[in-house]
Amino acid sequence: MKKILVTGGAGFIGSHLCEQLLELGNYVICLDNFYTGREKNIRPLTKNRYFRIIEHDVTNKIHLDCDEIYNLACPASPVHYQNDPIRTIKTAVFGAVNVLELAKKTGAKVLHASTSEVYGDPQIHPQHENYRGNVNILGPRSCYDEGKRCAETFVINYHRQEKIKVKIVRIFNTYGPKMRADDGRVISNFIVQALKGEELTVYGDGMQTRSFQYVDDLVRGLILMMNSDDSFTGPVNLGNPEEFRIIDLANKILKITGSRSKIVFKPLPEDDPRQRRPDISLAKVVLEWEPEINLDEGLRKTVNYFKKEIVY
Ligand code: NAD
Ligand code: UDP
């Protein structure tokens, strides 16, 4: 039985990952400081005797034994990561260093959750792993983007210098059940607004694009990546290449929920990327992975979750 540490395990993606790793017969340690994560996400798992929760901040050293580490700890929604930018950079960078130091001590393999944000506001479309990105170093998103870029640099240098086994995954916009109603990202915002009969807040003209991945597809990809050959460090993009304009997403959510909410246009946040779509040819070849759940199906599952989740 493998002992697997999931940092950020009480968060949206982390809690799905913990659940799947337990189902696969592993011993799972969820380490989280509950900054954006919730005890509620992992409550059903606490019945499993192979599941353990440790309340801890990854910016402090970690002392435990394990075989594999999925490093997910970091706020991911722009609203939350911009709330305390210094804390975000520290979590992204110092958190990665503490995870890598733990791996150095224990010999554990590390999968680091990076992001499509390392490509910034991309000038190459779709984004391939070789693209070096277009990030505004000083902009409001840089605490997250540059934190994640620096973390990748730490990860690859611990691999080169300390011979740590590492994997870097660049995750594109992911959604699904267990997101918080106040998460602040676009899909949760629109669904909650539609269900409550409130106006859907489209930022800018809604012509900017994103490619949305259902969480189950991502979790499958993360586990395949962890189990891939040690020589494959990545980075590898994991995302759904189907690209949508935000205005079209709003209309789709109105249709699926049957809501009569109106759409209102609000100012576009500074440095909001204009377009984003992953090139997943590397994941297809090396991991034999591609998404299986399209946006309509994923949205229906997510709407059903939010119908039970939100207080009207
Ligand atoms: P989330 O905010 O739901 O989860 C993050 C988790 O990390 C939370 O449980 C939070 O409490 C925990 N955390 C934050 N700071 C911490 C700290 N200092 N110490 C310990 N725990 C801490 O976000 P998510 O969407 O589940 O994202 C998980 C990971 O995936 C993040 O690293 C994020 O950057 C990455 N990612 C997510 C997406 C996406 O679309 N969801 C896209 C790209 C990358
Ligand atoms: N967005 C929007 N309305 C919202 C929340 C977000 O129009 O209520 C837009 C946002 O400006 C961006 C896109 O949706 O262009 C995706 O935003 P999100 O915060 O989900 O993720 P990210 O910008 O990090 O990709």
239 lines ligand 2 (CB under 6 A): no
Query: What residue segments make up the domains of the chain, in order of their start?
Result: 3-173+214-238
d(CA 32, CA 295): 30
Query: Which pLDDT score, from 0 to 100, does residue 279 have?
Result: 98
34 lines ligand 1 (CB under 6 A): yes
Burial level of 130, CB count in 10 A (0-12/13-18/19+)?
exposed
Residue identifier of the C-alpha nearest atom 21 of ligand 2: 185
d(CA 220, CA 176): 14
Backbone phi and psi for residue 97, each to the nearest 5 degrees, phi listed first: -60, -45
What is the residue-level pLDDT of the chain in tens, covering all 312 positions?
Answer: 999 999 999 999 999 999 999 999 999 999 999 999 999 999 999 999 999 999 999 999 999 999 999 999 999 999 999 999 999 999 999 999 999 999 999 999 999 999 999 999 999 999 999 999 999 999 999 999 999 999 999 999 999 999 999 999 999 999 999 999 999 999 999 999 999 999 999 999 999 999 999 999 999 999 999 999 999 999 999 999 999 999 999 999 999 999 999 999 999 999 999 999 999 999 999 999 999 999 999 999 999 999 999 876
Evaluate whether 62 touches 87 at the Cβ level (below 8 Å). Answer: no
Q: Which ligand has the nearest atom to the CA of 56?
A: 1
Burial level of 54, CB count in 10 A (0-12/13-18/19+)?
middle
76 lines ligand 1 (CB under 6 A): yes
Query: Which pLDDT score, from 0 to 100, does residue 273 have?
Result: 96
Residue identifier of the C-alpha nearest atom 17 of ligand 2: 186
- CATH (residue range 3-173+214-238): 3.40.50.720
291 lines ligand 1 (CB under 6 A): no
Say which residues have a Cβ less than 8 Å from residue 308's Cβ, sequence separation at least 6.
none
- What are the tokens at 111? 């999968």
Please state the atom number of ligand 2 nearest to the C-alpha of residue 76: 24
Backbone phi and psi for residue 180, each to the nearest 5 degrees, phi listed first: -75, 145
Query: Which pLDDT score, from 0 to 100, does residue 168 have?
Result: 98
Residue identifier of the C-alpha nearest atom 44 of ligand 1: 115
Three-state DSSP string of the chain: CCEEEEECCCCHHHHHHHHHHHHCCCEEEEEECCCCCCHHHHHHHHHCCCEEEEECCCCCCCCCCCCEEEECCCCCCHHHHCCCHHHHHHHHHHHHHHHHHHHHHHCCEEEEEEEHHHHECCCCCCECCCCCCECCCCCCCHHHHHHHHHHHHHHHHHHHHHCCCEEEEEECCEECCCCCCCCCCHHHHHHHHHHHCCCEEEECCCCCEEECEEHHHHHHHHHHHHCCCCCCCCCEEECCCCEEEHHHHHHHHHHHHCCCCCEEEECCCCCCCCCCCECCHHHHHHHCCCCCCCHHHHHHHHHHHHHHHCCC
Residue identifier of the C-alpha nearest atom 10 of ligand 2: 203
Q: Look up residue 242 and give its amino acid.
A: E
272 lines ligand 2 (CB under 6 A): yes
Q: How far is the CA of 278 from the centre of ligand 1 (A)?
A: 20
Please state the atom number of ligand 2 nearest to the C-alpha of residue 276: 25
Using omega within 30 degrees of 0 as the cis cutoff, is the peptide bond preceding 126 cis?
yes
d(CA 43, CA 65): 23
210 lines ligand 2 (CB under 6 A): yes
d(CA 150, CA 268): 27
Please state the atom number of ligand 1 nearest to the C-alpha of residue 87: 18
- What are the tokens at 33? 């400081």
Query: Which pLDDT score, from 0 to 100, does residue 25 have?
Result: 98
211 lines ligand 1 (CB under 6 A): no
147 lines ligand 1 (CB under 6 A): no
Query: Which pLDDT score, from 0 to 100, does residue 310 have?
Result: 87
Evaluate whether 159 touches 104 at the Cβ level (below 8 Å). Answer: no
The residues that are catalytic are: 144
Q: How far is the CA of 208 from the centre of ligand 2 (A)?
A: 9
By most ligand atoms within 8 Å of CB, the mutation choice from 88, 173, 203, 243 for ligand 2 is 203
Q: How far is the CA of 185 from the centre of ligand 2 (A)?
A: 6
